[in-house]
Amino acid sequence: MQIITDDMPFPDVSLATKEGLLAIGGSLTVDRLIEAYSAGIFPWFEIDEPILWWSPDPRFVLFPEKLKISKSMKKLLKQNDFKLSIDKAFKTVVKQCSMVSRIGQSGTWITPKMIMVYNELFERGMAHSVEVWRNDELVGGLYGVDLGNGVFCGESMFSHVSNASKFGFISFIRQSEYKLIDCQVYTKHLESLGAEFLPRTKFLRYLQR
Q: How far apart are CA 123 and CA 118, in angstroms?
A: 9
- Helix (H/G/I), strand (E/B), else coil: 153: strand
Domain boundary among 16, 35, 58: 58
pLDDT of residue 101: 58
- The answer to whether residues 34 and 74 belong to one domain is no
Residue 181: give its domain's CATH number. Answer: 3.40.630.70
Give the model's pLDDT for residue 47: 73
10-residue block means of pLDDT along the chain (209 residues)?
Answer: 88 95 92 94 84 95 96 91 96 91 55 90 96 96 94 94 93 94 92 96 92
Helix, strand, coil content of the chain in percent (nearest 5): 35, 25, 40
pLDDT score recorded for residue 71: 93
Residue environment code for 13-46, b if the CB has 16+ CB neighbours within 10 A, otherwise e: beebeeebbbbeebebebebbeebbebbbbbbbe
Out of 12, 33, 58, a domain closes at 58
Segments forming the whole domain that contains residue 183: 60-207
Q: Which one of 10, 40, 58 terminates a domain?
A: 58
What 3-state class would DSSP assign to 24? Answer: strand
Residues 110 and 150 occupy one common structural domain: yes
Together in a domain, 64 and 29: no
Same domain assignment for residues 194 and 95: yes
Structural domains in the chain (count): 2
The span from the CA of 37 to the CA of 46, in Å, is: 19
128 and 173 co-located in one domain? yes
Do residues 48 and 91 both lie within one domain?
Answer: no
Same domain flag for 170 and 142: yes
Same domain, yes or no: 90 and 152: yes
Q: Is the peptide bond before 58 cis (omega within 30 degrees of 0)?
A: yes
On whether both 118 and 150 belong to a single domain, the answer is yes
In angstroms, the CA 39 to CA 109 distance is: 21
Q: How far apart are CA 197 and CA 200, in angstroms?
A: 9
| Pair 39, 122 in one domain | no
> Comparing C-alpha atoms, which of 201, 117, 99, 110 is closest to residue 160?
99
Residue 110: the pLDDT is 79
Do 156 and 115 lie in a common domain? yes
Using alpha carbons, list the distances in angstroms from residue 195 to 75, 135, 187. 21, 31, 9
